[in-house]
Structure 1
Amino acid sequence: MTHFVVVGIGADGWDGLSHHAQAELESAETIYGSGRQLALLPDRLAAQTIPWASPMSEHLDRLIAGDGDDTVHLLASGDPMFHGLAASVVRRVGPENVTVFGSSSSVSLAAARLGWDLARTGVRSLVTGDPEVLIPALTDGARLLVLSRGADSPGRIADLLRRKGFGSSSMTVLGDLGGVDESIVTGHAHSWDVGDIPALNIVALECAGPALSNAPGRPDADYAHDGQLTKQPIRALTVCALAPAEGQMLWDIGAGSGSIAIEWLRQTRSGRAIAFEADLVRAARIELNAREHGVADRLTIAGSVPGALGGAPDPDTIFAGGGLDADVLESCWAAIESGGRLVANAVTLETERLLVAAHAEYGGELIRLSLERAGALGTMTTWRPSLPVVQWVVTR
């Protein structure tokens, strides 16, 4: 099998590489990299240099699919294991088939220039995502380092900050870090109008705006919906019952507005979810809500159940709300493996009977949630009860 050697090279080029990394490239027969990276190598190298074809991902796929026994050298930016090429290759071929030589990452260089403590600084990437992925991290006083996709990323970030009430946030764009053309530009989101930005840049944000929490139970007004919305207090209790954990897959059955899946995703950085919703208008609304809450990159929208369940990735956790019937419940139970969790909510007597029977057969915990809100009664105030919700929580 092909062995891959990934060498991280910074804007300071050949002179910034360690002696071991230089020796590795001097012994190489073939080196792949971007045109910018290959241009940093000295002409005296004997290796054949091959620029990545566009799209790079497909070129890399073809290279990995090869069955040769040779060694192939790849150039990457900075630290290849930090949102980088080496991490992608390792996932595909295994660590035993990859050797990595790292340089300082752009994040490390940015922190050094700014005097920021990396342990207290959030890092987000727009290389494969849209600016909305920043939304869960936005809160007053937060410091973020954002890996840009290109020269237009700072402007798009500024637009998002203004739209979300963070226009007073400080923005510092650090370009070509470590190179002779290194640049630093500082301004504020509300007045950001900098046109000459290097394509290779990282954006440092000092957030100034509302103090926001990612705790479940966001205001109902934060969601576009047609009434099919798990209300705020029940939603908070339901997401807690689902026990979000890193790297897991959630199925949200009969997703409605998508609020349960969205708030479940906001509790993790690596969780993924599938929202099953038969109504196309509601499906479009779920996509809108997911984008506005910064989790659209980790949420897939599928069709009606139980038909769409068959081709879906196996779940670790399932939430069943809208459209629950005996067939759907049976399909959900069959899909959950040992240790998996199922949470189902019922507001009608028919669905409640299903959950009572399931509890009797499979165990778990059955609880009834009743909420009352203060409301006007003439010139006085009284309690207005909401529809009670019966919730079944079970670990298989």
Structure 2
Amino acid sequence: MIGRFVVVGIGADGWDGLSGRARDELSGARVIYGSQRQLDLLPSGFAERRPWTSPMSAHLAEVLATDHRGDVHLLASGDPMFHGVGASVVRAVGAQRVHIIPTVSSVSLACARLGWDLTEVTVVTTVTRDVDSVLDAATDGRDLLILSCDRTTPAAVAKLLNDTGFGWSSMVVAEQLGGPAERLVRGLARTWDEPAGDDLNVIAVSCVGPRRSIAPGRPDDDYDHDGQITKAPIRALTVAALAPGHRQLLWDIGSGSGSVAIEWLRATPTGYAVAFERDTTRADRLTANARRHGVGRRLTVRGAAPEACTDAPVPDSVFIGGGLTETMLATVWHGLPADARLVVNAVTVENQSLLAEWYARQGGSLQRHSVETAAPLGSMTTWRPALPIVQWAVTKA
């Protein structure tokens, strides 16, 4: 009979911090996999210990793909289902073949030390993501708990915060939480000069800096662009029309500065986007914009549409903001799955007429938006109108 995978969470306090149930499982184990640091926390004298080889993901996949006669035990840090290996195991073999025994997570321990309400804290991981992803959550007054990749992460986070206006944010680096070598190091991001400490650390940040809303319509100056950018008021309307949702994928065609895709991603932290942009300079610029706004990990840049759409993952929503043609629109429409959302903005009379034709055939909503902005006129003030935008929004039946 094929056995189970038993995933046991272990903290820095090692064997002494495990429950009786966890100890019994490990005491009867035949083989235990884990990092060398985790395996060294176990007492000697039982089970065969197999440290993960590098890369761990490949070794784990090999172990999970093997038919084992009997249970196989895996060690994880803290709670295996909280940014841990437990979720990867369940995805690979199914919940029915996995038995999870958690212990207290590093995040819970950090909140206990700091007196923070865990329900009010935003958790960010840099274990599998770039440090830039911290900016996706940073805003004035928010408390962050950042799971570090290693001992270099605190200094990288401090530099990132200082470079983006959050230099006065307080930082606490909590090392080896729950263990005999536990240590808390405090300081400010702007003056952080602590030497690299332990690889096992969590960073607590109380953000002081700009208020960064997830609502669309951020100032145009927040983006590096060459003038080809969907202006803030129209961008807000566009992202709202796209209706971002949980774990959805957006195609942003003719992405330009990437502002629509970026604000769509900011509105749905579990979403992903594919930007299609034929101009390589603009593609580099939108990639930099995405990283600066903390969503670079969730955005992929491809070449020109519709050619580059052929083997792209199927979208839940599509925005066409540039390069609109009958061929492109037809290609995108026929490739859309049922219930997918399409939003198209047009400036020229020719493209607006094209949208009117498609609206007549496919339905949805067709709206004309015009924005005027106050501007100087001599010693007085007048209204300067922007070019009107026609927007077609439709959900495919």
- Structure 2 CA distance for aligned equivalents of residues 244 and 336 of structure 1: 16
Aligned to 2:13: 12
Aligned residue number for residue 57 of structure 1: 57
Please state whether the residue corresponding to 1:266 is helix, strand or coil: helix
The corresponding residue for 2:110 is 110
Q: C-alpha distance in 2, partners of 1:173/1:142?
A: 17
Work out the CA distance in 2 between the residues paired with 1:140 and 1:355: 42
The residue type equivalent to 1:42 in the other structure is P
Give the match for residue 96 of structure 2. Answer: 96
Task: Please name the residue that 1:283 is paired with.
Answer: 283
Shift of 1:380: 2.3
Residue of structure 2 equivalent to 1:184: 184
Determine the C-alpha separation between the residues in 2 that align with 1:2 and 1:277: 49
- TM-score scaled by structure 1? 0.97
Q: CA deviation digits over 1:190-227, x for unaligned, max 9?
A: 11111041110000111112222121111111111112
Q: 1:379 to 1:308 in 2, by over 3 A?
A: same
Contact 1:126–1:147 (Cα < 8 Å) also in 2:
yes
Residues 32-56 of structure 1: CA deviation (Å, up to 9, x unaligned): 10000000111121x2111000111
Other-structure match for 1:32: 33
**Structure 1 SS opposite 2:390:** strand
Q: Is the 8 A contact 1:2 1:66 kept in 2?
A: no
Q: TM-score, normalised by structure 2?
A: 0.97
Correspondences of 1:63-142 after superposition (within 5 Å):
63-142=63-142
Are 1:166 and 1:208, in contact at CA under 8 Å, matched by a contact in 2? Answer: yes
Q: Give, in whole Å, the separation in 1 of the partners of 2:95 and 2:228.
A: 46
Change (3 A) 1:366 1:69: farther
CA distance in 1, matches of 2:211, 2:274: 29
Deviations 1:327-380 (A, max 9, x none): 111122122222211100000112112211110110000000001111222332
The separation in 1 between residues aligned to 2:72 and 2:348, in whole angstroms, is 62
Which segment drifts farther, 116-125 or 334-343?
334-343
Contact 2:229 2:257 in 1 (8 A): yes
* Separation in 1, partners of 2:28, 2:313: 43
SS of corresponding position for 2:74: strand
Letter matched to residue 322 of structure 1: G
CA distance in 2: counterparts of 1:138 and 1:305, whole angstroms? 34
Q: Report the alpha carbon displacement of residue 69 of structure 1 after superposing the two structures with TM.
A: 4.4
The amino acid that maps onto 1:85 is V
> Are 2:31 and 1:22 aligned?
no
Distance (whole Å) between structure 2 residues aligned to residue 70 and residue 258 of structure 1: 51
Partner amino acid, structure 2, of 1:255: S
Relative distance call for 1:2 and 1:255 in structure 2 (3 A) is farther
* 8 Å CA contact retained: 2:8, 2:80: yes
Range that drifts further, 82-91 or 205-214: 205-214
Name structure 1 gaps, 5 residues minimum.
none
Superposed CA offset, 1:3-53 (max 9, x none):
3111110011111111111111112111110000000111121x2111000
Whether contact under 8 Å (1:315, 1:335) holds in the other structure is no
Show CA shifts across 1:243-284 (max 9, x none).
Answer: 111100001011111110000000111100000111111111
Q: Distance in 2 between matches of 1:181 and 1:336?
A: 55
Aligned partner of residue 60 in structure 2, secondary structure: helix
For 1:282 and 1:67, how far apart are their aligned partners in 2?
A: 49
Matched position secondary structure for 1:343: strand
- In 1, Cα distance between equivalents of 2:61 and 2:391: 46
CA contact (8 A) 1:8 1:101 kept: yes
Look up the match of 1:163: 163
CA contact (8 A) 2:152 2:196 kept: no
Contact 2:136 2:266 in 1 (8 A): yes
Contact 2:142 2:207 (C-alpha < 8 Å) held by counterparts:
yes
The letter of the residue matching 2:159 is D
RMSD (CA atoms): 1.1
Q: Which residue of 2 aligns with 1:241?
A: 241
Report the secondary structure of 1:145's partner residue. strand
Match in the other structure for 2:269: 269
Tell me by how many angstroms 1:70 deviates: 3.7
Q: What SS does structure 1 have at the residue aligned with 2:382? A: strand
12 and 230 in structure 1: CA distance in 2 versus 1, 3 angstrom threshold: same
* 1:21 match: secondary structure: helix
1:262/1:293 contact within 8 Å kept: yes
Offset at 1:2? 5.4
Whether 1:213 aligns to 2:213 is yes
Q: SS in structure 2 opposite 1:278?
A: coil
SS of residue in 1 equivalent to 2:267: coil
- Residue identity in the other structure for 1:219: P
Provide the residue aligned with 1:332 in structure 2: 332
| Residues 356-371 of structure 1 aligned to structure 2 (within 5 Å) | 356-371=356-371
Q: Partner residue of 1:202?
A: 202
CA contact (8 A) 2:175 2:200 kept: yes
Amino acid at match of 1:22: R
Q: Which moves more between the two structures, 75-84 or 348-357?
A: 348-357
CA distance in structure 2 between the aligned counterparts of 1:199 and 1:188, rounded to whole angstroms: 20
Gaps of 5+ in 2: none
Cα distance in 1 for residues equivalent to 2:144 and 2:67: 42
Structure 1 segments (4+ residues) deviating >6 Å: none
Report deviation, 1:65: 2.3
- The 2-side partners of 1:218 and 1:311 are apart by 32
**Identity across aligned pairs (percent)?**
56
